[in-house]
Amino acid sequence: MSSPVRISQKDAIAIITIDNPPVNAINPDVTQSLGARVDEAIADAGVRAVVIIGAGRNFVAGYDINEFVRIVSGEKEIDVHLGNVLDDIELAPKPVVAAMQGAALGGGLELALACHYRIAGPATQLGQPEVKLGLIPGAGGTQRLPRLIGSYRAAVMCATGAPVTAAEALDNGLIDEIVEGDLLEGALRFAAALTSPRPTRGKDQSLSTFILPKLPPKLKPLFAPNQALAAVELANRLPFAQGLIEEQRLFRECLYSNESKALVHVFLGEREVAKVPGVPKVTPEIKLAAVIGAGTMGRGIAMAYANAGVSVLLTDESPDALERAMLAIRAQYKSSASKGRMSPADANSRIERIQKAEGYAGMENANVIVEAVFEDMVLKKRVFADIDSFASHDAILATNTSSLDIDQIAAATRRPERVIGHHFFSPAQVMRLLEIVRGKATSPEVTGASLGIARILGKVGVVVGNCRGFVGNRMFHCYRREAQFLVEEGARPADVDAALVDFGMAMGPLGVGDLAGLDVGWRIRKEHRHLDDPSVRKPLIEDMLCEAGRFGQKTRAGWYRYDDERNRIDDPEVESIAAEAARRAGITRREIRADEIRDRCLCALVNEGCRILEEGIAARPVDIDMIYVTGYGFPPHRGGPMKYAELAGWRRVHDRVRELERVHGSLWQPASLLAKLAAEPAG
């Protein structure tokens, strides 16, 4: 096996190249090899200076995350040798230059900080993004960086994880030069002019008074960003060597925290869900996409394809609806350009990619056809029968249904193996999740191509099985069911939403309903009402809101009232409707605490998730977690519903579900998988 770090020489300058594909991540092998190459360069009397550079497109994009997983599991020890190698570089008697391109992040930037000089290509991104994994820099980053660029700037970089550009790095003293053209040639020229090393940091004394940067609201309650601030603050008042010891202590506290375990799980999960047993990796050629249905979802899907550089034909059975959609698409792109989110030229090119079609004209050439009409089985089957009559033999036939039976839809065609669910989330041009729903006849190649489409669109594709609501909405139904029950039983809507937002959800369950439109769920419930067990309690209040014409933000009234700017206002009328729902259900209303709200909503998610795993609708817990983190606003630092339950303790969750079963009945019967997990030894 070749060494991940190699050394060569040109004109008395040693070139140490880190070559550990795909991103030159640091691991113990890289550390050991790097240390040996540095020692070799220092010992060689024919070497006057050293350049450290990365092979390929990146310098070093960080430390190998899988190593952190092995450390936490007890399989490995923390790589303390890295700190020694960085000390050796810093104390080298010959000038050492870090030549950076692409990503110089995390451990990569810490390596550069130990070098005497730093240069970079113009497109280089430099940062300490460890907090995004619930960590802080652990190889001197919180101690060297403030001594180089000042404590305030260093604290912002370490606590937010936000990278800086090469131009910004040059301006704040993080790098010495931006190299246009060939980076290695520029590095050799730069190194040839050096005569001696330069101190990489200031004296071991207090820096300027530490000013605490203001953390963004989402970061304030998190552990790692606050630990990062504490570590940078230590650089102001401790000698460097002692600061390194304290940094390592804080790093270890982060490494073994539930926050880091959850964030690492999410980071790796995004890659894991793309690998589905029995499904080939396919990179489909998508030159033309067709979207049938020009409502909110249809035009969002069209924009998602246009944003990815794909030409789109958009149609609707209503010419007026199609015209309104084209105007709305144009307005959205123009608005984005006016706010600086894209250039006017880019906005215009995206607008031009979306063309309206008369009927199905031109769609016979589409590589993928996405049906996005109303959630009505009769309508969808009619549309798919039409699609079957004109679509090319190798086209992917996708339905955007959020709950209906894929197999019934596929049965309307003569090629059910080409039919699959592509469940986009609103707004489709923004939300990262694509729930890919396999029918019983869907071919592995079409499933693999659908995962490829997700990659093309910049989305996280998660493959699931076919059932009512699939994975995301089936679980979300249970989550929102409890939210509605809680209001019927006495909780205020604002208190229900606040309890879940305080937990970390992007929005509360009732506010989400208002945003999506309460009539959507109402229509689905009416579609499936014949399947419901009349003996099982069902929420009454949301149907009553819809019967009163309160569909959410679109009608300025749902669970809340909304002003012209869609600001939320508590509405006494909802309290009256809730009291009437309780009367009809024979419920005595009471005060309900935030911890009960959280437990009931979250345990309902987890219990249903266990049932979905039992049935094979989701293949792995990580599939559920990625659906919820990328599509439903579940906080990444909690890891998703299933990881949250694992970290909280399966026994604790199971026991809480049993308590709720005793109080609220059969809806709370623990899933057999939940009981099995609870019975296993902890850890």
Active-site positions read: 110, 130
Q: Which of 388, 124, 15, 90 is nearest to 244 (CA)?
A: 90
What secondary structure does DSSP assign to 211-246, as a single string? -PPPPPTTTTT-HHHHHHHHHHHHHHHS-HHHHHHH
Contact indicator for 92, 46 with CB cutoff of 8 Å: no
Measured CA to CA, the distance from residue 432 to residue 169 in angstroms comes to 31
Task: Provide the 10 A C-beta neighbour count for residue 345.
Answer: 9
- Provide the residue type at 12 as one letter: A
Residues 6+ apart with CB under 8 A from 324: 294
Count CA atoms within 13 Å of residue 353 on its CB side: 25
Task: Provide the 10 A C-beta neighbour count for residue 10.
Answer: 13
Residues 6+ apart with CB under 8 A from 428: 297, 300, 301, 303, 304
Is residue 158 exposed (0-12), middle (13-18) or buried (19+ Cβ within 10 Å)? buried
Across the beta sheet with 177-178, the strand order is 5-10, 13-18, 49-54, 96-100, 117-120, 177-178
Measured CA to CA, the distance from residue 94 to residue 115 in angstroms comes to 10
Q: What are phi and psi of 227, to 5 degrees?
A: -65, -35
Beta bridge partners of 9: 14
